[in-house]
A and B are shown apart, each in its own frame.
Chain A
């Protein structure tokens, strides 16, 4: 499965336009396992105007798939910075234990959308949200929602690695400490487990008490992933996690995302279409605050239904 997906894009090192062109022409890829959730994903609403939740439930039941396969749903999500509307009626389903990639040109609203999912936009002054974001069916914008609890369930990794000016150990232990875990042995176990999952443990296990700021950029970003994993989130939001990294570190992060999807539902914003193609199961294309198209990654990259999507992935704009 993993290798299949990798082979989707053989020329990842080539220039973007070349690669995407290759991609659109390598159409005949055998659908490997038609019974997996990949198919369920293809039934998620693709056009914003549809009544999305109803449709996704209908389609799920029509295929005999329990709705538990959908982790996050947004319904007519609109977002405003002051009077500027940044998102218009985004309706999208995010399947559990899959990687959903959000692509699109700069300023198209994909990061804003991502930050709506764990209410990180709450902190920005003069912003307004309309519509629903449902996590396991519960609206996260419902009054009385415990935002702190929400963010423990929906972790986030940022574009620029942002380790705290503390030791490596304390960085990872910070989340668990917030939940009241203070036992040294317990913290040690969580820290090691998280670092291991973030594929960083081997590099830092002898210097857990060193300052996190001394790590390289790629290591810092994996530390931030470990830090996010330490609170045992169900969903991991990643906002261009590899955009500031060199190719080797990027590969490591991508490999990591691959492994993490076994346990977590991942939503990743990326500028890089090859990256979306390499790591994701489902891809959504954003343009000017709208979700133009969403579908299984392979389908979106090979047979997009919307003209704008095709133009974007073939490099005609953006």
Chain B
């Protein structure tokens, strides 16, 4: 490692300072090792999780073909006849992710534009902490909120809706992802140089012209990244959708029906009495891998977009 140079300087020290230097040397070395260990733990954890996911998934795919997993339209691992098609779970997840985006994106972007361009500083100082409070509410509270408040509301509007339905999950997940969209989009909007705004105003643009034609397009990459991160969060969201959306794996696009997301399925099996080591049990690793891959891809794309945006203004 990099201790070699230190050792060289140690050897060249004279006797008077040798003791102090030796102590300092070991102290520095201990600190170095300790900090490296701290960093190593998270790396090790990530690597082991991915390793376990991969190994268990590979063992799962010895029993179930990848083709069936990807194309079968039924997911009934606990019932005879067994079907291991991830489509219904994928569908439930995407339904919730899409539905929540439909709520979070317009409201979030609108709020971000308001905070960055329109709100007087004092009002912004009030709204921003409130938005952050929204981010701090535990997700189980959101789930509870969905079941007791939103679901009845959905059912009174659409009588055909079941007590557990995708729509109420969409609403709460939408609310949960709002703070992320608001704060990242607002950062992107505020990063647009003042000189661009002045350039537009100097041409006779109104505030709306400036916002719509100059500021938002200039911040677009940051805004899109915030959308992607919010979608990724919605895909990974577990507690609220487990409570609100139900546990019926179903390939449907109807938000009034009960669906099961990938995350909710993993909760169900992890808590149930499915014996470990069976193919039924290993399904959660395959599902987990699919979940991990989809959020990872979205996060990487979002990070790529964000870093490109940073380059543009530096």
Judged by a CB distance under 8 angstroms, whether B72 is at the interface is no
Among A123, A164, A179, the most chain B Cβ lie within 10 Å of the Cβ of A164
Contact check, A152 vs B199: say whether CB atoms are below 8 A apart.
no
Q: Decide: B202 and A156 in contact? CB cutoff 8 A.
A: yes
Given contacts A165-B218, A165-B312, A178-B209, are A158 and B204 in contact (CB under 8 A)? no
For B133, the chain A residues whose CB sits under 8 A away are none
- Identify A178's interface contact among B121, B198, B204, CB under 8 A: B204
- Say yes or no: A227-B203 contact (C-beta < 8 A), given A160-B195, A174-B213: yes
Per the bound structure, the CA–CA distance linking A160 and B196 in Å amounts to 10
Q: A162 contacts which chain B residues (CB < 8 A)?
A: 193, 195-196, 198-199
Query: Residue of A at shortest CB range from B206?
Result: A148
Known: A162-B196, A178-B209. A152 touches B203 (CB 8 A): yes
Q: Does B214 contact A (CB under 8 A)?
A: yes
Report yes or no: B201 in contact with A123, Cβ–Cβ below 8 A. yes
Does A224 have its Cβ within 8 Å of any Cβ on chain B?
Answer: yes
Q: CB of B200 within 8 A of chain A? A: yes
- B209: chain A residues at CB < 8 Å are 178
A228 is an interface residue with CB less than 8 A from chain B = yes
Residues of B within 8 A of A160 (CB): 195
State whether A228 touches B203 (Cβ < 8 A): yes
- Residues of chain A within 8 A (CB-CB) of B217 are 164-166
Complex partner residue of A231 from B198, B204, B213, CB under 8 angstroms: B204
A118, A174, A213, A227: most-surrounded residue (chain B CB, <10 A): A174
A155 to B218, CA, bound (A): 22
Q: Which residues of B contact A164 (CB under 8 A)?
A: 196, 199-200, 213-214, 217-218
- Asked if A175 CB lies within 8 Å of chain B CBs, one says yes
Enumerate chain B residues within 8 angstroms of A120, measured Cβ to Cβ: 198, 201-202
Q: Indicate whether A149 reaches chain B with its CB closer than 8 angstroms.
A: yes
Q: Is the pair A174, B193 in contact by a Cβ cutoff of 8 Å?
A: no
**Separation of A151 and B209 alpha carbons in the complex (Å):** 14
Q: Is A206 an interface residue (CB 8 A)?
A: no
Q: CB within 8 A of B203: which of A123, A125, A166, A231?
A: A231
In the bound assembly, the distance between CA atoms of A228 and B200 in angstroms comes to: 10
What residues of chain A lie closer than 8 Å to B121, measured between beta carbons?
125
Do the beta carbons of B204 and A151 come within 8 Å of each other?
A: yes
Closest A residue to B221 by CB, please name it: A165
- Roughly how many angstroms separate A148 CA and B208 CA in the complex, as a whole number? 12
Contact assessment for B203 and A158 in the assembled complex, using a CB-CB cutoff below 8 Å? no
How many A-B pairs have beta carbons closer than 8 Å: the answer is: 64
A46-71 CB contacts (< 8 Å) to partner B: none
Does residue B66 face the partner (Cβ distance < 8 Å to A)? no
Query: How many Å lie between the Cα of A9 and that of B217 in the bound state?
Result: 45
Set of chain A residues within 8 Å of B202, measured between Cβ atoms:
118, 120, 151, 155-156, 158, 228
Chain B count of residues within 8 A CB distance of the other chain: 20
The tally of residues in A whose CB lies under 8 Å from a CB in B reads 26
B205 at the interface (CB under 8 A from A): yes
Task: Give chain B residues whose Cβ lies under 8 Å from the Cβ of A178.
Answer: 203-205, 209
Would you call A175 and B196 a contact (CB within 8 A)? no
Within 8 A of A (CB), among B288-314: 312
Residues of A near B196 (CB, < 8 A) are 162, 164-165
- B198-234 contact mask (Cβ, 8 Å, vs A): 1 or 0: 1111111110010001100110000000000000000
Residues on the B chain within 8 Å of A148, using CB: 204-206
Give the chain A neighbours of B312 by CB distance below 8 A. Answer: 165, 213
Residue in chain A with minimal CB distance to B199: A162
Q: How far is the CB of A95 from chain B (nearest CB, A)?
A: 22
Q: In the complex, A148 Cα to B200 Cα: how many Å?
A: 11
Of residues 81 through 123 on chain A, the ones whose CB sits less than 8 Å from some CB of chain B are 118, 120, 123
Residue of A nearest to B192 (CB): A165
How far in angstroms is the closest Cβ of chain B from A212?
11
Q: Whole-angstrom distance between the alpha carbons of A175 and B201 in the complex? A: 10
Instruction: State A164–B211 Cα separation when bound (angstroms).
Output: 12
Task: Name the residue on A nearest B202 (C-beta).
Answer: A156
Contact A149 B204 (CB under 8 A): yes
**A243 CA / B206 CA spacing, docked (Å):** 28
Distance of A197 Cα from B218 Cα, bound (Å):
27
Contacts of A151 in B (CB 8 A): 201-204
How far apart sit A178 and B202, CA to CA, in the bound complex (Å)? Answer: 12
Interface residue ranges of A212-234 to B (CB < 8 Å): 213, 224, 227-228, 231
A-contact 0/1 string along B250-286, CB 8 Å cutoff: 0000000000000000000000000000000000000
Determine the residue in chain A with the shortest Cβ distance to B203: A175
Among residues 108 to 149 in chain A, which have CB atoms less than 8 Å away from a CB atom of chain B? 118, 120, 123, 125, 148-149
CB distance from A161 to the nearest CB of B (A): 9
Complex Cα gap A175–B203 (Å): 6
| Interface set, chain B 111-130, CB cutoff 8 A to A | 121
Pairs A-B, 5 closest by C-beta atoms: A156-B202, A152-B204, A162-B195, A175-B203, A162-B199
20 cross-chain CB contacts under 8 A: A123-B197, A123-B201, A148-B204, A156-B202, A158-B199, A160-B195, A162-B193, A162-B198, A164-B200, A164-B214, A164-B217, A165-B312, A174-B213, A178-B203, A178-B204, A178-B209, A227-B199, A228-B202, A231-B203, A231-B204
* A residues at B contact (CB < 8 Å): 118, 120, 123, 125, 148-149, 151-152, 155-156, 158, 160, 162-166, 174-175, 178-179, 213, 224, 227-228, 231
Extra pairs beyond A155-B202, A160-B195 (8, CB < 8 Å): A149-B204, A151-B203, A152-B203, A162-B193, A164-B199, A164-B214, A175-B203, A224-B199
